Homo-oligomer: A and B are copies of this chain.
Amino acid sequence: MKESFFAFFEPDSVVVIGASATPGKSGNIVIRNILANDYKGKVFLVNPKGGEILGIPVHPSIASLPEGIDLAMIVLPAKDTPQALRECAEKGIKHAVLQAGGFAEVDEYGTEIQQELTTIIREKGIRALGPNTSGHTSTPHQFSSSLFPQGKIRRGKISYIAQTGNFATHTMKYILTAEHFGVSRVIGLGNKIDIEESEALEYLGNDPETNAIIMYLESIKRPRHFFEIAREVTRRKPVVLLKGGETEAGKHAAVAHTAAMAAEDRLMDGLIRQAGIVRIREYSHLILAGKALSMLPLPKGNRVSFSAPSGAMLVVLSDLCTRLGLEVPELKKETVQRLQEISPPFIRMRNPVDIWPAATVHGAEFAYREGMEAVLQDPHIDAVVPILMLTKETGVPPFDFVVTLAKKFPDKPILVSFSAEKQCMDECKGFLEPLGVPTFQEIEQPFEALSILYRCRRAMNRPRS
């Protein structure tokens, strides 16, 4: 299997079948993405019109291609895809990304064509991704088959397996334009006539370029096999899953079977947990988990210290920690002493840390820096969340100290959040994130991210049954 995935994720040569000279067409965007990602292998193009597209000569037919191309991207209408796949097989191309839509997901005719594709790949021994996939990505190999305009995709160490094209298209665009983390492999499964989640998970489980795996699935083709593989992989790497269609409405069902659905979901929930997979419930947490797993170590435990410029925030975030399974423990005596030293005498310092009195005396930089260092040194604490209050008028500290502390305490996740002025938050994010410290605009988000990280740690350390 590794051999097959090698052709998908480290191809030496690729061909775009259905290459287009028209900007905005999928057959053109695919080529632009390949060029934008600085793919180092050979790129072939096929279009009956021949000529040249974006400086690359175009072959008039699949038959006219050289032998031994690793991977074909078939960007043709559904009805033309089977014939192209057959011709690829005749040329010895053993791996294909089937990028058209219009198969079983739409109608009976599409179902028939999809069945034809299934027959071809079985007969010819082709490995295929899709159909109805918007592509896949492999940043270590500087390659993407995405048919959505992406530009250069940022490299990272987390990988996505998605039963949706979103992580090759608009959600990836969001990650690239709103966040600073990158990805390693992205697999858009599409209609899964061949490659499915089990095989993808096994490949990524063994992939040295993948440190953590995040999945969006609506169905699991071979559940027993899938959970067997997951049980192994989750001991080595965090695996996070959003299961779509958990409710009746989510399943687009016409009649209500809410009770049955709930029972089915409870069963699924048990299987997921036993396999060491960390289940999430929100789409936006696919991004949150990716960010946290990209930028942070897993905490050793669930004991958090946070500092905030407001008593109310200390209260509501303590409530939130309890709901999320995070502990806000008492600090060591020495830590409390240090916090007391930097604070006005009338404040009795404890965890969580009421930091603003110290800031009014010593300035925000000193208060947050010394306060954070004190709790980072405390063996009772596994992770630290500073809520920075930022306004131009009250002064924005230089943020180097946060980066220095993150380097000094590499085993303890530091997650930054904010209060007050939006523009200052954006600036702080722009400074800290490229240096490896994640920030979160809403004060709940660092705790949600930390809860995911902690659950990943607990899953990896779970006893063997």
**Contact assessment for B249 and A319 in the assembled complex, using a CB-CB cutoff below 8 Å:** yes
Check: A61 CB closer than 8 A to any chain B CB: no
Closest-by-CB residue of B relative to A442 is: B284
Residues of chain B lying within 8 A (CB to CB) of residue A312: 162-164, 166, 216, 218, 244, 283
Seen from chain A, the residues whose Cβ lies within 8 Å of a Cβ on chain B are 24, 102, 105-107, 110, 148-149, 162-166, 169-171, 173-174, 177-178, 216, 218, 242, 244-252, 254, 281-284, 309-323, 327-328, 330, 346-347, 350, 389, 391, 393-394, 419-423, 425, 442-444
Beyond A177-B422, A283-B317, A391-B149, whether A165 also contacts B322 by CB under 8 A is: no
A171 to chain B, nearest CB (A): 7
Please measure, in the bound complex, the distance between the C-alpha atom of A315 and the C-alpha atom of B77, giving whole angstroms: 26
**Contact assessment for B283 and A313 in the assembled complex, using a CB-CB cutoff below 8 Å:** yes
Given A246-B319, A251-B315, 19 more A-B residue pairs with CB atoms under 8 Å apart are: A102-B346, A105-B311, A149-B391, A149-B393, A149-B394, A163-B312, A164-B312, A166-B310, A166-B419, A171-B420, A173-B420, A174-B420, A174-B421, A177-B420, A177-B423, A244-B316, A244-B319, A249-B328, A283-B313
User: When A and B form their complex, which 3 residue pairs have the shortest distance between CB atoms, in order from nearest?
Assistant: A164-B312, A250-B319, A178-B422
For A218, A310, A315, A443, which residue has the most chain B Cβ atoms within 10 angstroms?
A315
Please measure, in the bound complex, the distance between the C-alpha atom of A460 and the C-alpha atom of B165, giving whole angstroms: 43
**Contact assessment for B419 and A252 in the assembled complex, using a CB-CB cutoff below 8 Å:** no
Residues of chain B lying within 8 A (CB to CB) of residue A281: 319, 323
29 contacts between A and B (CB under 8 A): A24-B394, A102-B346, A106-B346, A148-B394, A149-B391, A162-B312, A166-B313, A166-B419, A170-B389, A171-B419, A171-B420, A216-B312, A218-B312, A218-B315, A244-B315, A244-B319, A247-B318, A247-B322, A249-B318, A249-B321, A249-B328, A250-B315, A250-B322, A281-B323, A282-B316, A283-B313, A283-B316, A284-B442, A284-B443
What's the number of copies of this chain in the assembled complex?
Answer: 2
**Contact assessment for A391 and B282 in the assembled complex, using a CB-CB cutoff below 8 Å:** no
Residues of chain B lying within 8 A (CB to CB) of residue A328: 249
Closest-by-CB residue of B relative to A29 is: B393
A54 to chain B, nearest CB (A): 15
**Contact assessment for A164 and B310 in the assembled complex, using a CB-CB cutoff below 8 Å:** yes
For A242, A442, A444, which residue has the most chain B Cβ atoms within 10 angstroms?
A442
Residues of chain B lying within 8 A (CB to CB) of residue A323: 247, 281
Determine which of B149, B252, B320, B394 lies in contact with A282 in the assembled complex, contact meaning CB atoms within 8 Å: B320
**Contact assessment for B170 and A420 in the assembled complex, using a CB-CB cutoff below 8 Å:** yes
**Contact assessment for B284 and A444 in the assembled complex, using a CB-CB cutoff below 8 Å:** yes
A305 to chain B, nearest CB (A): 12
Please measure, in the bound complex, the distance between the C-alpha atom of A322 and the C-alpha atom of B281, giving whole angstroms: 12
Residues of chain B lying within 8 A (CB to CB) of residue A420: 169-171, 173-174, 177
Please measure, in the bound complex, the distance between the C-alpha atom of A162 and the C-alpha atom of B315, giving whole angstroms: 13
A295 to chain B, nearest CB (A): 18
Please measure, in the bound complex, the distance between the C-alpha atom of A173 and the C-alpha atom of B389, giving whole angstroms: 10
**Contact assessment for B106 and A347 in the assembled complex, using a CB-CB cutoff below 8 Å:** yes
**Contact assessment for A444 and B164 in the assembled complex, using a CB-CB cutoff below 8 Å:** no
**Contact assessment for A322 and B249 in the assembled complex, using a CB-CB cutoff below 8 Å:** yes
Determine which of B165, B174, B216, B318 lies in contact with A422 in the assembled complex, contact meaning CB atoms within 8 Å: B174
Closest-by-CB residue of B relative to A107 is: B346
A77 to chain B, nearest CB (A): 11
